[in-house]
Amino acid sequence: MDTFLENSLFRNIYCNLASASENCAARGYGDALLPDGLQWLAFTLTGVAIIGLVVNAILMGVLGFIWFERRVFARFQNRVGPNRWGPFGLLTPVADAIKTMFKEDVAPEDSDRFLYNLAPVLMVVPLLVVFAVIPFGIGTFVADLNVGILFILAVTTMSGLAIVMAAWASGNRLSIFSGLRAVALLISYEIPMALSILGVLMISGSLALGRIVESQNVPFILVQPMGFLVFFLASLAEMNRTPFDLTEAESELAAGYLNDYSSMKFGLFFLAEFMAALAGAAVITTLFLSGWRGWEPVPSQVWFFLKMGGVLFVIIWIRFTWPRLRIDQMLAFAWKGLFELTLVNLTLAAILIAVWPQPTTTQLWMMAAINWPVFFASIWIIGKVMGVRPHQIDRTAMGALYPVATDEPAPASEASEQ
């Protein structure tokens, strides 16, 4: 109970609901709404209230993010973007949501109705749960689990199951292809993702996100560049963002597992996709960008959301500048590229931690100084070994198919044919 009451949010709601129990009285709370003996009800209601609060906050955040993404997207393409509803088009996502809700809910006749309806819910719920453990600012969190980061990893894997369920229940081939791809991608990228945070955990000495933030006297993006790169790319893959959005590759699979969903069920998937980006940005901010830490007098929450906005911008940036890759390229990248990089990172971090068990700020800077050259060297070596070369265009082969514009004059024979 004491651990619950240390949380100011919980304390304020609970102690105003429950009668003056000794725990609350000791903290100076007076009259309460509920009679004595109903503490359990107060406890439950408090939980429900907090959940409602957080869920709503996240949903508002998603609306904001959708607007942000569309505006940025428009800038990249030299357009204006949505600007009709509300100031700067801020209400456009609201209009979208209303439109989605009023659409007809069509389900394919052959679909497995139980799984078909369960999948969108299972997709959204884990992502909502993620926000429960993220510290948005000093003392601003729902629960600071002592296994926080593992909890996030565990819960987000469930969205993979949801995708597979949706793909299977829809009962069409393109969806199933997308489900198979989703499994292959998720399983492959989960391994580098989990390994990449081990360096962070070793340095901070804790799995609790609060402690991880507190130990970042130097942002871990500087101390753990390899860990950051791998985690960032792997979480892009986990949240199905371009260039890893093979599960809903429009050009090949129509919309993949989303094919047969309509109305608000589609809306939930849509929501989940943007929520995943938000969650990913929040986790990256917490793990690598020193979370809510910043300089006074700006409040810690503002720092957190600023950093998170920066990460979101990079995610959007990548989405609109990178092409989608093939599935075998993606898997090879995970197993042959990222996996090796995490192993290098892990070994190096273990050695450094053995040398400086509880690093001071200076030692953290020294770790950074060692990590960066190794980072570049291993990227170079892995690139060599993977055989990544600048793409060579076979002009003779292409010339047979398409007329390729060159500076040289066209051969005489071709010219005569034309």
Partner 1 sequence: MGEPALSGLYEVSRVVDAAFWLFAALAIGGAVMVVTVKDVFKAAVFLAGSFLALAAIYFLLQAEFIGVVQILVYVGAVSILIAFAVMIIADVPGGSRPARGRIAAATAAALMMAALAFTTYNTNWTDIGQITDEDAIAGLVGVYYEDTSTSPYADAQGGTIRAADETTKDARSGALIDSTGAIGTLLIREFVLPFEILGLLLAAALIGGLALMLNPRTEDK
Which residues sit opposite 283 in a β-bridge?
Answer: none
Q: Which stretch binds partner 1 (CB under 8 A): 35-43, 328-336, 348-356, 366-374?
A: 35-43
357 binds partner 1 (CB under 8 A): yes
Binding pattern for the stretch 156-195 against partner 1, x by CB under 8 A and - elsewhere: -xx-xx--xx--x-------x--xx--x--xx--x-----
365 binds partner 1 (CB under 8 A): no
Shortest distance in whole angstroms from residue 150 CB to partner 1? 5
258 binds partner 1 (CB under 8 A): no
314 binds partner 1 (CB under 8 A): no
Q: Which stretch binds partner 1 (CB under 8 A): 94-102, 145-153, 229-237, 285-293?
A: 145-153
The DSSP-derived string for 141-192 is -S---TTHHHHHHHHHHHHHHHHHHHHHHHT-HHHHHHHHHHHHHHHHHHHH
Interatomic CA distance for residues 309 and 285, integer angstroms: 9
297 prior amide bond cis, ω within 30: yes
35 binds partner 1 (CB under 8 A): no
4 binds partner 1 (CB under 8 A): yes
**From candidates 49, 207, 318, 343, binder to partner 1 by CB under 8 A:** 207
Q: Compare residues 191 and 314 and give the one whose CB is closer to partner 1.
A: 191
Interatomic CA distance for residues 326 and 369, integer angstroms: 36
Please name which of 160, 168, 177 lies closest in space to residue 113, comparing C-alpha atoms: 168
Interatomic CA distance for residues 38 and 209, integer angstroms: 33
The single-letter DSSP state of residue 140 is B
For residue 41, the surrounding DSSP H or E stretch is: helix 39-76
Please name which of 258, 391, 389, 236 lies closest in space to residue 318, comparing C-alpha atoms: 236
Contact 261, 104 (CB under 8 A): no
Q: Binding to partner 1 (CB under 8 A): which residues in 49-88?
A: none
Shortest distance in whole angstroms from residue 261 CB to partner 1? 18
Contact 381, 234 (CB under 8 A): no
Beta strands in 289-413 (DSSP E): none
| Count of residues interacting with partner 1 (CB under 8 A) | 39
Q: Compare residues 112 and 340 and give the one whose CB is closer to partner 1.
A: 112
Q: Compare residues 314 and 343 and give the one whose CB is closer to partner 1.
A: 343
Shortest distance in whole angstroms from residue 40 CB to partner 1? 4
The single-letter DSSP state of residue 137 is B
155 binds partner 1 (CB under 8 A): yes
Shortest distance in whole angstroms from residue 103 CB to partner 1? 27
Give the interface with partner 1 as residue ranges (CB under 8 A). Answer: 1-4, 18, 21, 23, 39-40, 43-44, 112, 114-115, 118, 145-147, 150-151, 153-155, 157-158, 160-161, 164-165, 168, 176, 179-180, 183, 186-187, 190, 207, 357
